[in-house]
């Protein structure tokens, strides 16, 4: 790694404050760095000089070949429960934290390379990434952001000129990822599993300073930190479920303290509504199925709680367990009320009425039984609010049950002191017309593997404004063609 002039105003608190939580490391040399995508609007939000980065020098930085001035690249250590089994030694096996910068809104953001070569935590892996999964993370992360869901962001995607073998030869690539932080439940687990309570305390204090500074120096701050993470995750998972997102690999090392979605591997959006939907080729038992995500998040949060017990009450473990359990016990209600409020918005219901949950559940049950497209239904229901139910009706093979439901729904909506047009407009502001449909993502990624990025760029453009319909983008709103078949995704390795 050579040195270049200051392009990133780094301020590296993780490197400075947490020695022993990482190893210093550098990116691998690669034959031919080339910038494929650069996120100009994000770069501007970060306060970066975009013109200096959309250059060969930028490509060298975004592949890890050249170290930007002020960077102290490092690989973070962590542990994690993967599919329920504990791995005590994980860590950035193919990623490097370049450093942190304070963005134009005063927020501290991590800049991380993913795919930049092997590290001491690679565990036999090659430390590399290939173009398909890199662009997949770019596309889906940016789509999630546009949908208003907390997420890591993509700043750049660059190819390395290497050929990497996965299911055949693939172009090597590196993703530059931006995050509120890369602190995970698994980071806490690494030190807690080794009985290093002081390290867990140091990490918790760092997390508080970074994500919940109002808790610093307050009484019971570690219990309160747990409560905040529970609140953020409950809100996050509700947003996933409301939009039909399946993460696919909700291991504790992929569960953030910040409440951002992280690590887009075998993730996908559902087309037809189905709580049992699983896309990941390695999730044989359906552990991370669409409808199980709230339960899994709560399980992951219990693993975080365990790591904090010695801090919550150093003198009385039983008391610590009791207090942590009572925080965890808040999760189901937090999740459910976030979800139900979101479903009310999706169905155009204002205020809260006793029967809302059963009304919403009756709709979902019908959708499940009749394989109704989740995204289209809510979009078409907005027309029904305006009196035209035909499009929504046409999504059902046997629409009689839906007709009966519409009568109840119209009755509920008509009690609202708001005209039908406004209800319809409100619904369209929360129900996306465009999500990253699996068949469109696949089509774009296949073209990218041959070096043609046109479809990826088009898809990104459509997904930037998911709520505003554009007749020219109709193909992106439609469910997959009948011959697309069941969709399988692979871990982004």
User: What are the residues binding ligand AMP (CB under 6 A)?
Assistant: 90-94, 121-122, 125-128, 249, 253-254, 263, 265, 491-493
- Token pair for 308: 């904090």
Partner from ligand AMP, Mg ion, none contacting 271, C-beta within 5 to 8 A by type = none
Smaller CB separation from ligand AMP, 53 or 75: 75
- Token pair for 484: 């697309």
Between CA 412 and CA 344 the distance in angstroms is 11
The reply on whether position 254 binds Mg ion by CB under 5 A is yes
Partner from ligand AMP, Mg ion, none contacting 122, C-beta within 5 to 8 A by type = ligand AMP
With beta carbons less than 8 A apart as the criterion, state whether 275 and 339 touch: no
In the complex, minimum distance from the CB of residue 462 to ligand AMP, in angstroms, rounded to a whole number: 27
Partner from ligand AMP, Mg ion, none contacting 94, C-beta within 5 to 8 A by type = ligand AMP
- Token pair for 204: 């918790």
Name, in order, each residue with C-beta under 8 angstroms of 73's C-beta and a sequence gap of 6 or more.
Answer: 1, 24, 25, 26, 27, 64, 67, 96, 97, 98, 99, 113
How many C-beta atoms surround the C-beta of residue 399 within 10 A?
Answer: 18
Smaller CB separation from ligand AMP, 457 or 488: 488
Stretch touching Mg ion by CB under 5 A, among 234-242, 246-254, 357-365, 410-418: 246-254
In the complex, minimum distance from the CB of residue 254 to Mg ion, in angstroms, rounded to a whole number: 5
Partner from ligand AMP, Mg ion, none contacting 92, C-beta within 5 to 8 A by type = ligand AMP
Which DSSP string do the residues of 199-265 spell out, in sequence order? Answer: HHHHHHHHHHHHH-GGGTT-TTHHHHHHHHHHHHHHHHHHHHHHHTEE-S---GGG-BSS--B---S
Stretch 203-242: interaction string toward Mg ion, x if CB under 5 A? ----------------------------------------
Name, in order, each residue with C-beta under 8 angstroms of 492's C-beta and a sequence gap of 6 or more.
Answer: 129, 133, 134, 136, 137, 263, 264, 265, 266
Q: Where would I find the beta strands (DSSP E) of 10-93? A: 22-24, 34-38, 67-68, 74-82, 85-91
In the complex, minimum distance from the CB of residue 93 to ligand AMP, in angstroms, rounded to a whole number: 2
With beta carbons less than 8 A apart as the criterion, state whether 185 and 301 touch: yes
- Token pair for 70: 């002020």
In the complex, minimum distance from the CB of residue 263 to Mg ion, in angstroms, rounded to a whole number: 4
The reply on whether position 263 binds Mg ion by CB under 5 A is yes
Partner from ligand AMP, Mg ion, none contacting 265, C-beta within 5 to 8 A by type = ligand AMP
Number of chain residues interacting with Mg ion (CB under 5 A): 2
Partner from Mg ion, ligand AMP, none contacting 125, C-beta within 5 to 8 A by type = ligand AMP
- Token pair for 380: 């078409």
Q: Please report, as residue ranges, which positions from 393 to 452 form the binding site for Mg ion (by CB under 5 A).
A: none
Look up residue 489 and give its DSSP letter: B
Look up residue 27 and give its DSSP letter: P
Smaller CB separation from Mg ion, 82 or 386: 82
> Which residue number is nearest to Mg ion in terms of Cβ?
263
With beta carbons less than 8 A apart as the criterion, state whether 485 and 478 touch: no
Name, in order, each residue with C-beta under 8 angstroms of 399's C-beta and a sequence gap of 6 or more.
Answer: 393
User: What are the backbone angles phi and psi of residue 387, rounded to the nearest 5°?
Assistant: 105, -10
Partner from Mg ion, ligand AMP, none contacting 63, C-beta within 5 to 8 A by type = none
In the complex, minimum distance from the CB of residue 253 to Mg ion, in angstroms, rounded to a whole number: 5
Stretch touching Mg ion by CB under 5 A, among 256-264, 421-429, 439-447, 457-465: 256-264
Smaller CB separation from Mg ion, 263 or 327: 263
Stretch touching Mg ion by CB under 5 A, among 260-268, 308-316, 371-379, 463-471: 260-268
- Residue 237 sits at the vertex; the CA angle it makes with 87 and 12, to the nearest 5 degrees, is 60
Smaller CB separation from ligand AMP, 81 or 221: 81
Name, in order, each residue with C-beta under 8 angstroms of 195's C-beta and a sequence gap of 6 or more.
Answer: none
In the complex, minimum distance from the CB of residue 348 to ligand AMP, in angstroms, rounded to a whole number: 38
In the complex, minimum distance from the CB of residue 127 to ligand AMP, in angstroms, rounded to a whole number: 5
> Of the listed 92, 253, 271, 373, which one is catalytic?
253
Smaller CB separation from ligand AMP, 297 or 381: 297
Stretch touching Mg ion by CB under 5 A, among 43-51, 57-65, 261-269, 279-287: 261-269
Smaller CB separation from ligand AMP, 59 or 175: 175
In the complex, minimum distance from the CB of residue 409 to ligand AMP, in angstroms, rounded to a whole number: 41
Cα dist. 161→30, 34, 164 in Å?
A: 7, 8, 10
Stretch touching Mg ion by CB under 5 A, among 15-23, 212-220, 258-266, 332-340: 258-266
Smaller CB separation from ligand AMP, 94 or 346: 94
- Token pair for 109: 């953001």
Partner from ligand AMP, Mg ion, none contacting 126, C-beta within 5 to 8 A by type = ligand AMP
Smaller CB separation from ligand AMP, 23 or 52: 23
Q: Is the dihedral of CA 85, 89, 90, 91 positive or negative?
A: positive
User: What are the backbone angles phi and psi of residue 188, rounded to the nearest 5°?
Assistant: -65, -40
With beta carbons less than 8 A apart as the criterion, state whether 26 and 75 touch: no
Between CA 344 and CA 336 the distance in angstroms is 12
In the complex, minimum distance from the CB of residue 149 to ligand AMP, in angstroms, rounded to a whole number: 19
Residue 24: active-site member = no
- Token pair for 207: 């997390």
Q: Note the residues at the interface with Mg ion (CB under 5 A).
A: 254, 263
Active site residues: 253
């Amino acid at each position: 790694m050579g040195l270049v002039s200051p392009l990133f105003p780094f301020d590296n608190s993780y490197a400075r404050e947490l020695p022993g939580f990482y190893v210093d490391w550098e990116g691998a040399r690669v034959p031919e760095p080339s910038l494929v995508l650069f996120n100009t609007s994000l770069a501007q939000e970060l306060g970066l000089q975009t013109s200096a980065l959309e250059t060969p020098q930028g490509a060298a930085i975004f592949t890890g070949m050249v170290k930007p001035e002020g960077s102290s690249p490092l690989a973070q250590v962590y542990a994690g429960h993967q599919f329920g089994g504990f791995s005590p030694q994980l860590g950035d096996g193919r990623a490097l934290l370049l450093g942190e910068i304070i963005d134009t809104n005063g927020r501290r953001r991590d800049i991380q390379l993913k795919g930049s070569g092997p590290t001491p935590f690679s565990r036999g892996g090659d430390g590399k990434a290939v173009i398909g999964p890199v662009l997949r993370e770019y596309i889906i992360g940016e789509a999630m952001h546009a949908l208003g869901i907390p997420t890591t962001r993509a700043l750049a995607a660059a190819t390395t000129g290497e050929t990497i073998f996965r299911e055949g030869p693939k172009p090597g690539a590196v993703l530059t990822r931006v995050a509120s932080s890369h602190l995970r439940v698994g980071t806490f687990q690494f030190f807690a599993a080794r009985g290093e309570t002081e390290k867990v305390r140091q990490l918790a204090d760092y997390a508080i300073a970074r994500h919940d500074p109002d808790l610093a120096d307050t009484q019971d701050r570690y219990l309160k930190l747990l409560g905040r993470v529970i609140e953020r995750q409950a809100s996050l998972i509700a947003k996933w479920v409301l939009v039909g997102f399946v993460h696919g690999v909700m291991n504790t090392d992929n569960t953030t303290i910040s409440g951002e979605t992280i690590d887009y591997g075998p993730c996908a959006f559902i087309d037809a509504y189905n709580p049992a939907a699983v896309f990941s080729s390695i999730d044989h038992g359906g552990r991370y199925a669409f409808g199980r995500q709230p339960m899994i998040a709560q399980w992951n949060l219990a693993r975080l709680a365990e790591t904090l017990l010695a801090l919550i009450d150093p003198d009385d473990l039983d008391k610590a367990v009791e207090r942590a359990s009572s925080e965890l016990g808040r999760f189901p209600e937090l999740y459910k009320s976030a979800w139900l409020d979101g479903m009310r918005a999706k169905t155009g219901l204002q205020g809260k009425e006793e029967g809302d949950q059963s009304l919403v559940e009756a709709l979902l049950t019908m959708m499940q039984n009749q394989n109704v497209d989740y995204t289209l239904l809510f979009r078409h229901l907005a027309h029904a609010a305006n009196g035209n139910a035909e499009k929504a009706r046409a999504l059902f093979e046997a629409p009689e049950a839906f007709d009966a439901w519409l009568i109840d729904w119209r009755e509920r909506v008509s009690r609202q002191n708001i005209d039908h047009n406004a209800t319809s407009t409100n619904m369209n502001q929360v129900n996306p017309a465009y999500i990253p449909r699996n068949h469109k993502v696949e089509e774009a990624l296949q073209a990218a593997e041959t070096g043609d990025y046109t479809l990826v760029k088009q898809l990104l453009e459509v997904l930037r404004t998911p709520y505003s319909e554009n007749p020219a983008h109709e193909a992106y709103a439609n469910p997959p063609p009948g011959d697309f078949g069941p969709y399988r995704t692979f871990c982004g390795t």
